[in-house]
């Protein structure tokens, strides 16, 4: 039986349960270069989401027969820690985690100059430490920073954001409750300099007009996230510069 809703998700003034207006992102914190043992790394907090990404490579491919003669093999593992959600999640990879690993990889690949590194692999590990809806987008946002931190040549960063429909209203960046109890969720990944959408999924039902509005709303969200990504990358190098000076 579907869970009974306890509370209205959007009040008469258009304010959501976490106090946001419909077109507002959750607070975002981004950090680059926090894992010493990885070639590149990044951490994101978006609302209550906490996600860590490590990148290794370009490196030798194991097993060797998977090597691609004219480009790097991009591998991605999205994983939710057993303690990342209220009901313990089995640590074994689920169907959902396999799907997310695949779509995240495919959303990042067009941004990477994979042709520069034939017969190598670039490995991406995404660990969701705490999940609160929209983890695939937050993971993508952090993963592109971790790739840049690893020094992997890229056409641009990839920014990602979802928009959805909640109690008849179109809303940006749904949290877990809105995602579960709302009518639809539409995650988008976007490469700014190419103006290319590299991930577009949808869960739920909307009209064609709402669909177009949601895509545009999600891209607007990506446009707000992109400068935060650039700032986070710069912050790492400012810190390195200060360290060198000392
Ligand atoms: N979730 C959960 N248990 C699971 C998988 C997901 O509680 O085993 C929650 C988690 O908060 C996640 C949300 O459901 O962020 C929405 O999941 P969805 O599959 O829509 O992916 P996401 O929105 O995280 O990209």
| 96 Cβ below 6 A of ligand 1 | yes
User: Residue 60 pairs with which residues in a beta bridge?
Assistant: 120
pLDDT value at residue 22: 98
Q: Does the predicted model carry a pTM greater than 0.85? A: yes
| N-term to C-term CA, the chain | 63
**Residue with token string 């993971």:** 139
User: What pLDDT sits at residue 23?
Assistant: 98
> According to the model, what pLDDT value does residue 79 have?
98
All structural domains of the chain: 28-245 (3.30.230.70)
Distance 238 CA to ligand 1 centre (A): 35
pLDDT for 246: 78
Pick the residue whose CA is nearest to atom 17 on ligand 1: 133
Q: Which of 133, 166, 178, 180 to mutate to test the pocket of ligand 1 (most atoms within 8 A of CB)?
A: 133
pLDDT in the model for residue 2: 52
Sequence-distant (6+) residues with CB within 8 A of 163 are 170, 171, 172, 173, 174, 186, 188, 214, 215, 217, 218, 221
Residue to mutate, 81, 135, 181, ligand 1, most ligand atoms under 8 Å from C-beta: 135
List b or e across 118-135, with b for residues whose CB sees 16 or more CB atoms inside 10 angstroms: ebbbbbbbbbbebbbbbb
Angle between the N-to-C axes of helices 135-149 and 95-108, in degrees from 0 to 180, rounded to the nearest 10: 50
Mean pLDDT by 10 residues, the chain (246 residues): 68 96 98 97 98 97 96 98 96 96 98 98 98 98 98 98 98 98 98 98 97 98 98 92 82
Confirm or reject: Cβ of 164 under 6 Å from ligand 1.
Answer: no
């Amino acid at each position: 039986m579907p869970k009974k809703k306890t509370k209205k998700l959007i009040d008469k003034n258009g304010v959501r349960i976490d106090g946001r207006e419909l077109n507002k992102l959750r607070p975002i914190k981004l950090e680059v270069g926090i894992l010493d043992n990885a070639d590149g790394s990044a951490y994101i907090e978006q609302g209550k989401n906490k996600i860590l990404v490590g990148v290794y490579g370009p490196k030798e491919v194991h097993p060797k027969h998977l090597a691609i003669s004219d480009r790097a093999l991009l591998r991605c593992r999205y994983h939710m820690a057993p303690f990342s959600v209220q009901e313990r999640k089995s640590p074994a990879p689920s169907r959902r985690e396999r799907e997310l690993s695949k779509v995240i990889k495919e959303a990042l690949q067009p941004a990477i100059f994979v042709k520069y590194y034939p017969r190598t692999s670039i490995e991406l590990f995404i660990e969701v430490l705490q999940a609160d809806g929209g983890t695939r987008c937050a993971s993508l946002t952090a993963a592109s920073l971790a790739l840049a931190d690893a020094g992997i040549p890229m056409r641009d960063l990839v920014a990602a954001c979802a928009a959805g429909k909640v109690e008849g209203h179109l809303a940006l960046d749904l949290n877990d409750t809105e995602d579960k109890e709302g009518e639809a969720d539409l995650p988008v990944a976007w490469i700014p300099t190419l103006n290319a959408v590299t991930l577009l999924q949808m869960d739920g039902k909307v009209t064609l007009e709402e669909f177009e509005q949601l895509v545009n709303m999600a891209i607007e969200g990506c446009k707000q996230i992109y400068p935060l990504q650039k700032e986070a990358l710069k912050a790492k190098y400012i810190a390195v510069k200060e360290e060198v000076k000392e």
